[in-house]
Amino acid sequence: MSLILKLRETVLEERETNRLLREQIAVLEEEIAQLKSKLSGGGSSAPEWVKANRAGHPKRQRKKRKQSFVRRRERPTEVHQHALDRCPDCRRELSGGWVHRRRQVIELPLTPVRIVEHQIMARRCGACHKVYVPSLDLSGEVVGQHRVGVNLMSLVAHLAIEGRMPLGTIQTFLKVLWGLHLAKGELAQILHTVAKLGQGEYDKLKENVRGSPVVNADETGWREDGMNGYIWSFSTPNVRYFLYRRSRGSDVPKEVFGEKFGGVVGCDFYCGYSPLEVVRQRCWVHFLRDLKKLEEDYAGQKDVVQWVKRVRAIYRRAKRFTSDLPKVRLQAKMRFERELLDLALGYLGGNAPQRILALRIEKFIAELFVFVENPEVPSENNAAERSVRPSVIARKVSGGTRSPKGSATRMTLMSLFGTWKLRGLNTMQACRQMLLNSQLTAASQRA
Q: Where are the beta strands (DSSP E) in 303-353?
A: none
Q: Give Cα separations from 438 to 142, 343, 433 (angstroms).
A: 11, 58, 9
Return d(Cα 237, Cα 208) in angstroms, integer.
Answer: 11
Q: Are 265 and 237 in contact (CB under 8 A)?
A: no
Nearest to 348 by CA among 338, 334, 358, 336: 358
Q: Are 173 and 164 in contact (CB under 8 A)?
A: no
- Which pLDDT belongs to residue 1? 83
Q: Give Cα separations from 51 to 43, 168, 329, 443 (angstroms).
A: 15, 37, 48, 64
- Which pLDDT belongs to residue 82? 93
Amino acid 215 reads V
Instruction: Return the CA Rg of the chain.
Output: 35
Task: List the end-to-end C-alpha distance of the chain, in Å, as a whole number.
Answer: 121
- Which pLDDT belongs to residue 45? 59
Query: Would you kindly state where each structural domain of the chain is located, as residue ranges?
Result: 151-273+405-447, 284-380
- Which pLDDT belongs to residue 48? 67
Q: What is the DSSP string of 104-160?
A: -------------------EE-TTT--EE------TTTBSTT-SSBHHHHHHHHHHH
pLDDT tens string 78-103: 999 999 999 999 999 999 999 999 99
- Which pLDDT belongs to residue 431? 94
Q: Give Cα separations from 73 to 39, 69, 102 (angstroms).
A: 48, 12, 10
Return d(Cα 149, Cα 209) in angstroms, integer.
Answer: 32
**Residue 67 backbone dihedrals phi, psi, to 5 degrees:** -140, 155
Return d(Cα 79, Cα 75) in angstroms, integer.
Answer: 10
- Which pLDDT belongs to residue 233? 95
Beta bridge partners of 267: 282
Query: In sequence order, which residues have a C-beta less than 8 Å from that of residue 348 and are 6 or more positions away?
Result: 355, 358, 359, 362
Q: Are 267 and 234 in contact (CB under 8 A)?
A: no
Other Cβ atoms within 10 Å of 52 Cβ, number:
7
- Which pLDDT belongs to residue 364? 95
Q: Give the pLDDT means over successive 10-residue stretches in the chain (447 positions).
A: 86 89 90 79 60 75 76 89 93 92 89 89 91 87 87 95 93 92 94 94 95 94 92 95 94 92 93 92 95 92 93 95 93 94 90 92 95 94 92 88 94 96 94 89 69
- Which pLDDT belongs to residue 51? 73
Q: What is the DSSP string of 408-447?
A: HHHHHHHHHHHHHHHTT--HHHHHHHHHHHHHHHHHHHH-
pTM of the complete model: 0.79
CA dihedral sign of residues 158, 164, 168, 169: negative
Other Cβ atoms within 10 Å of 160 Cβ, number:
26
